[in-house]
Structures are given as structure tokens and as C-alpha cells.
Amino acid sequence: MFYIEKNNLQKKIILFFLFTALSCFVFAETKRSSNKQPEQNWSGTNSGDYVIYRDYSWKEESWVGFFYYNKNTIAAFLYTDKGKTFPQILFSFEEQDGEFVITGQNIVSAQNNSQNYIYAVNYLMQMLPKFHEWKEKPNTESLVIQKSSKSIFEEEYDGECIVNFSSYIPLFYIESILNAKQKFVLKIEEIGRAKSEESFFNFTPIKITKQKKQSKNKNDFVFKSDAKKNPVTINGLKLHLDSQWMQQTENSFLLGEKAFLSVVPVNLEKSAYKTADDAVSFIVKFLCSSGDNVKVMLNKTDITGSKEEFKIINSIYDVQTKTVTSGIHLVKKYEGLKYIIVSLSADFDFYQRHKKYFDNLF
């Protein structure tokens, strides 16, 4: 864990990195559990993983989410009508000869007899088995993550649809569903790991408000485009830094109160991943995952490169400060399943103003 002096100006930059700096712990946990065989039908998904989709099949703005306990329990919610209709259900199920059979359900939200609420409950009970039926691990070769798609017929979504899959998304691998008019009826918005179903059920849509400009004072950081070059090499990777970056630890640097950069070596356990593609999907999943206080906005995420070296650019929403931060990760593969991950977090507006500078750092 990094040590950084506490002050309000650095808070929104550091919060995201206290989240991502836990990568060492997460990868270590993967090693500890590598001797356990993953549940065949839920490979790539662990207890606590969840997915949240924007659901365009409803007239009101709506979101549907699924939380994975284990191979026999899933939690689900539907948030619509500005939260006035918000059923939350715990489902128990069995997989019998490939069929998904619901064996019980417990509605844990406040219940009412409105038509919308009853329909929403029925929608979840109807769609959960269908999501399982559609589930497909993609195996089509692509530059970074594996993708695939297939056709389905779903009356709830007005007939013929295309389901798009992506290998890093937990539970069903479903990234989006498009109808016959090529319009989204479902689109991934958030993935992550929640401590409990209470945390998962504590969902509210992200509302980004325009930030007020803070008045300047003499202690504000002033960016200098002509600062003296001060390149640094860590684990064989060269960072094109300059004199404005202050070293915090052996592998982390701070640019005033505007940006923070760290370099983390990662050595994945071979027995935990059947293929190199599975390892890449795990890394992408982790770097795109949200937590209770930090939300990675997948609709503003870009993944480019190749399996040997790829870059993920995120927009990250801070729940407490209600501000957005830019996150950039470079993942470079060495031998076997050894990787170097360079992570940069920067004030969103500052990053946009100096994008070329930041893009050339590594």
C-alpha cells in the first residue's frame, strides 16, 4: 500500500489508486485458490462478482443487475421508474442436464401490489433462466479479449436479437443485446465485486453533474510543458517522466495534485488459467471492475493493443466526491504469465487538456 500525505486536494486522485493498488492482493488471492477447480459452468466468475446492465426494454430508464453467490445462488434486481420500482430477489437454482431450474426465490425488497412492481418481479423470474440459456464463453480470436455473438428470438425484446459476448464479463459473458433494428435493448454498464448482496442492492444510477471551477491560489500546481526530462526505468519498462513528478515509493510517482502513476509486476499462477486468453480476460476484468466507492464506467472504456501489450482507458466515478477521474493502464506481457501493469490516474479535465503529454509517458 502506498503512503501519501492526507489532504483534500489529493483525495479524488488517490481513491482510485487505493482501489487499483490492491491488485497485488487480488493476484495473490488467485494464487491461493488456484488449486481449487473452477466450477465448470461459471468459469471466470467468483463469489461476489456482479454485472449491471442498462435495460432499454422498459419505457422508463432502467437497470438490471445480477450478483453471483455460488453455483446455486444468484441475487438480482431491476431498478426502474427512478427507483420507485426496485424489486430485489435472491434466487436459488439447480443446473439439471444443462437446464437452469429455479428452486426458490426470496424477495428481500419492500413489496407492493402495483402493476409495475408485479411485472418487474415476473420479468426477473423470467429473464434469469434465459440469460443462463444464452450464456456462452466466447472463443473467437481478437486483438485483446475474445468476443462472439449469436442470434436469439426473444418476445420480451420484440423478436429477433443479436447477443454479443465478451470474455472478461462475469456471470453470462453478455456485453450487449441488439434488436432487429440494431438498437440496444441491453448494454453492460458496470461489473465488479461486492462484499455482500446488501452492497449490490444499494444501487443508484450515476448522475454526473458539471463541476464548479475552483478558485486558484498561489499553491495550485502549475503544469510546465518544458520541464526537464527525467526518464525512469522500472522492471525494464521506461517511463518518460520529467522533473514535475515526485517519487512516492520505489514504483509510484505523483504529479502535483493532478495525477498519480504506479508500476506493479504481476505473476499469475499457471494452474489458475487454462489458456493465456483466460489470463488476459482476468486482468481486463479486474482493471475494469468497480467497488463500493469507485465506479468504472464501461460505456466510457476503451481497450486497444494486442494480447502481448494492451492499454485500457477508463473514466472512473468517485461516489463520495461525485467527480470523474481518468484511468489509463498499460499491461505488458513478459514470459509465461508474467506481466507489468502501469497505472495512471489523473484529474479528468487536466488529462483532457494534456492528453498528448500523458499518452507519451509510457
Q: Is residue 213 part of a domain?
A: no
Give this prediction's pTM.
Answer: 0.88
Query: Over the stretch 74-104, which tens digit does the pLDDT of each residue have?
Result: 999 999 999 999 999 999 999 888 789 999 9
- Same domain membership, residue 268 and residue 167: no
- Same domain membership, residue 54 and residue 27: no
Q: Is residue 214 part of a domain?
A: no
Query: Over the stretch 288-301, which tens digit does the pLDDT of each residue have?
Result: 999 888 999 999 99
Q: Is residue 218 part of a domain?
A: no
Task: Write the CATH number for 18.
Answer: 3.40.1000.10
- pLDDT band at residue 106 under the 50/70/90 scheme: very high
Q: Is residue 2 part of a domain?
A: no
Q: Which of 201, 232, 258 is the endpoint of a domain?
A: 201
- Same domain membership, residue 132 and residue 14: no
- Same domain membership, residue 265 and residue 126: no
**3-state SS track over the chain:** CCCCCCCHHHHHHHHHHHHHCCHHHHHHHHHHCCCCCCCHHHCCCCCCEEEEEEECCCCCCCEEEEEEEECCEEEEEEEEHHHCECCEEEEEEEEECCEEEEEEEEECCCCCCCHHHHHHHHHHHHHHHHHHHHCCCCCECCCCCCEEEEEEEEHHHCEEEEEEEECCCCCCCEEEEEECCCCEEEEEEEEEECCCHHHHHCCCCCCCCCCCCCCCCCCCCCCCCCCCECCEEECCEEECCECCEEEEECCEEEECCCEEEEEEEEECCHHHCCCHHHHHHHHHHHHCEECCCEEECHHHCEEEECCCEEEEEEEEEECCCCEEEEEEEEEEECCCCEEEEEEEEEEHHHHHHCHHHHHCCC
Residue 13 is predicted with a pLDDT of 47
- Is a pLDDT exceeding 80 seen at residue 57? yes
Instruction: Determine the average pLDDT of the residues in 130-141.
Output: 90
- Same domain membership, residue 179 and residue 298: no
- Same domain membership, residue 323 and residue 182: no
Q: Which of 38-52, 79-93, 311-325 is predicted least confidently?
A: 38-52
- Same domain membership, residue 191 and residue 50: yes
- pLDDT band at residue 344 under the 50/70/90 scheme: very high
- Same domain membership, residue 286 and residue 170: no
AA letter at 247: Q
- Residues 42, 299: Cα–Cα separation, whole Å: 24
- pLDDT band at residue 232 under the 50/70/90 scheme: very high
Q: Is residue 3 part of a domain?
A: no
**Residue 275 CB neighbour total at 10 angstroms:** 10
Q: Is residue 27 part of a domain?
A: yes
Q: What domain range includes position 229?
A: 8-33+223-359
- Is a pLDDT exceeding 50 seen at residue 354? yes
Residue 257 is predicted with a pLDDT of 86
- Is a pLDDT exceeding 60 seen at residue 24? no
- pLDDT band at residue 212 under the 50/70/90 scheme: low
- Same domain membership, residue 163 and residue 117: yes
- Using a pLDDT cut of 90, give the percent of the chain over it: 68
Number of domains observed in the structure of the chain: 2
- Same domain membership, residue 192 and residue 67: yes
Instruction: Determine the average pLDDT of the residues in 211-228.
Output: 74
- Same domain membership, residue 168 and residue 128: yes
- Is a pLDDT exceeding 50 seen at residue 21? no
Give yes or no for a contact between 236 and 309, defined as CB atoms under 8 angstroms apart. no
- Same domain membership, residue 261 and residue 144: no
Q: Which of 167, 201, 235 is the endpoint of a domain?
A: 201
- Using a pLDDT cut of 70, give the percent of the chain over it: 86
Q: Is residue 215 part of a domain?
A: no
Query: Over the stretch 178-207, which tens digit does the pLDDT of each residue have?
Result: 999 999 999 999 999 998 888 999 999 998
Instruction: Determine the average pLDDT of the residues in 213-223.
Output: 68
Q: Is residue 122 part of a domain?
A: yes
The mean pLDDT of the chain is 86
∠ Cα 126 168 335 (to 5°): 160
Q: Which of 154, 169, 201 is the endpoint of a domain?
A: 201
